[in-house]
Homo-oligomer: A and B are copies of this chain.
C-alpha cells in the first residue's frame, strides 16, 4: 500500500489532538515499551509498525528514503559544524588583535553570523540559487524569502540529498563566512556602523549573486568545462579574501605598524592560545564545510573528503612550521596556525577530486605559500592582522587552480577564469563599498579612538577589566 510521503506535509508540524492520544496510549503500555525488540518484531507491536508505515509509504523508494534520512541528518549536523567555524573565526581574530579591541571584534562576529543567517533567509538563498529565475541570465537573480514548503523529500537526487530546509541551513552558515574573512583583515580600525553596513551588503547581496554564477548554475557553471569548486576555495574563501584586500586598501594600515623609514613594527595579537583555539575549531568545523559539501551521506565521497581535508590541513601546518623555522630562524606559532588554515582553504576546491597523496602535496605547498604571502603583504604595507588575504584569497586561488593539474576532468582555463572573475569582482565590490562609506558616514575611527581602543571608544566596555594591562 502506498500511503504517500508523510514528510511532505511541509506546513510546520503542529500537535494534533489525535496523534497525542495515540502516543499516550502507546507509552502507557509500559511493558510493551520495555519488551526486548526481538519480541516486538515477532509480535508486530505498534511502534515498530509505525516506522514501517512511514518508510514503507515510499513504496519502491523506501530504500531511497532511508538514504535521504541519513543524508539530511548529515546536512544539518554539517551545518552545525560550519556554524562553529564562526566561533573559530571569532576567537582567531580576537586572539590575533589587541585586548583593547576584543569587545569590538566579538561584537562584529556575533553580528556577522546573525545577519548572515537572517538575510540569507530573507533574500540570500533564493538569490544564490535562482533555479533558472534570472534577471540577467546566468549572472543575476534576486530572490525572496525561503518558501514555507521546504520540507520536501528529494531536492536533486543523490547529489543533493536534503530538503530545502536542509539546503538553506547548510548554505546559510556559509554565507556569513565572506564577511567574517573581511572582519579579520579590517580589524582594530574600522568603524562599527560602517562595518555593519558593509557586511549587510556583502552577505545579503554580493556573496549570493557572485555565488550563483557557480553553485546557482550561472555562467561559470555553463563554461564548456564547468568551473569546479567543490566546497568553495574560490566562491567562499577567494571571494572573502579579495573583498578583504579591497577593504584594506581603502582603509589603510593600523596606526603604528609601518614606521617612517620603511620599518615595520609588528602588532602582536594579545592572546595566542585563543587564536589557537580558533584554528582548531576552524579545522573541526571544516569537516562540516567540506564533508557537508558532499551534499549527501554518500560514503565513498565522505571518506575521501574527510581524509583529504585532514591530511591537507596537517601538511599545511607542517609546511608552515618548518618553512618559518628555516626562513625566520624561529618556529612562529602564528605561521603554524595560518598553515593549518592554508591547508584547509587549499583543499576546499578539490577535496573530492584528488587522492590523499595529492592532498598532502596541495597542503604542503599551501603551507609554504601562505608564509610567503603574509611576508609579501606586510612588505607592501597591506596590513592584515589575521592574514585573511593570504589564507583565504591567495591560497583560495591557488587551491582552485592547482587541481587542474591532478584531475583530467578539470580545466585549467575554466579554473583560472572562475578564480579571477570571482576574486576581481569581490575586490571591486569591496573597494566601491568602502569608498562610498568613506565619503559618507566615514570608514575609520579617529586616531584617538584607535589609540584608546575601539572597546572604550565605540562600546564603552572593557574586555578584561580585572586584569592589569601592559603597555611596553
Interface string of A10-40 (1 = CB under 8 A from B): 1011111100100110111010011111111
Q: For A64, give its contact among B51, B84, B165, B352 (CB under 8 Å).
A: B51
User: Does A449 make an interface contact (CB < 8 A)?
Assistant: no
The count of identical subunits is 3
Measured CA separation A153–B298 after assembly (Å)? 11
User: Does A373 make an interface contact (CB < 8 A)?
Assistant: no
User: Does A225 make an interface contact (CB < 8 A)?
Assistant: yes
B280 and A87 form a contact (CB under 8 A): yes
Interface string of A46-85 (1 = CB under 8 A from B): 1111111011111111111111111111101101110110
Known contacts: A55-B67, A166-B299, A303-B164. The answer to whether A7 contacts B37 by CB under 8 A is: yes
Some 30 contacts from A to B, beta carbons below 8 A apart, are: A10-B36, A16-B409, A27-B131, A41-B153, A47-B160, A51-B158, A51-B161, A55-B67, A68-B299, A69-B71, A73-B297, A87-B281, A91-B277, A103-B333, A106-B333, A111-B317, A111-B336, A116-B314, A117-B314, A118-B318, A121-B360, A146-B356, A165-B300, A165-B302, A268-B465, A270-B466, A271-B464, A277-B277, A334-B461, A467-B470
User: Does A181 make an interface contact (CB < 8 A)?
Assistant: no
Q: For A407, give its contact among B12, B40, B459 (CB under 8 Å).
A: B12
B24 and A217 form a contact (CB under 8 A): yes
From A246-254, A305-313, A417-425, A430-438, give the one contacting chain B: A305-313
What chain B residues lie within 8 Å of A357 (beta carbons)? 145, 148
From A232-240, A283-291, A385-393, give the one contacting chain B: A283-291
Grouping DSSP codes into helix (H, G, I), strand (E, B) and loop, the A interface class, with mixed when no group exceeds half, is helix
Measured CA separation A91–B334 after assembly (Å)? 16
